[in-house]
Amino acid sequence: MADQEITTKQRLRYRSTEKHSQPWQPGRKGSLCPSEIDVLKVGELLDQSIEFDNRRFAAYQGKSFVGQCSGGVWHGYPVGWVEVPEPVRREFVASGTVRRSDQRKHWTRHYDEP
């Protein structure tokens, strides 16, 4: 999904980056997005995300993702649930999007995982 750009139904622009989609990149590594998440799924996640403190948080298959906006374009990557603000974690559980057991399973920071 390298360097693809879309505009979501909510008119949010998203651009993928190789840092989070392609392994073996030179320089600082980003947490890799699951390969089964294509750019259309990212658009759905961005539209369904919860905005909090100038970031957008989404959940997919029990894992958490954060989106950040730079120059009017969003980019996102996986994070551990520990990196998601408590009110957002509670909202995902209350809405049935994720279970507390998912949050415990994927709790660690993305850079702590092997």
Residue 39 has pLDDT above 60, yes or no: yes
pLDDT at position 81:
96
Percent of the chain with pLDDT over 70: 67
Is 111 contained in some domain?
A: no
Looking at the structure of the chain, the number of domains it has is 1
Neighbours of 56 (CB within 10 A): 22
Q: What is the mean pLDDT of residues 100-106?
A: 94
Average of per-residue pLDDT across 64-68 = 91
Domain membership of residue 10 (yes or no) is: yes
Tokens of 103: 């949050």
Question: Which one is predicted more confidently, 81 or 108?
Answer: 81
* Domain annotation covers residue 110: no
Residue 85 domain-assigned (yes or no): yes
For residue 55 the two structure tokens come to: 């970031």
Q: Which domain holds residue 17?
A: 5-105
Is residue 45 predicted with pLDDT exceeding 50?
Answer: yes
* Residue 114 belongs to some domain of the structure: no
Does 57 reside within a domain?
yes
- The confidence band for 114, taking pLDDT boundaries of 50, 70 and 90, is very low
CA 99/CA 63 separation, integer angstroms: 10
Query: Is there a domain that residue 65 lies in?
Result: yes
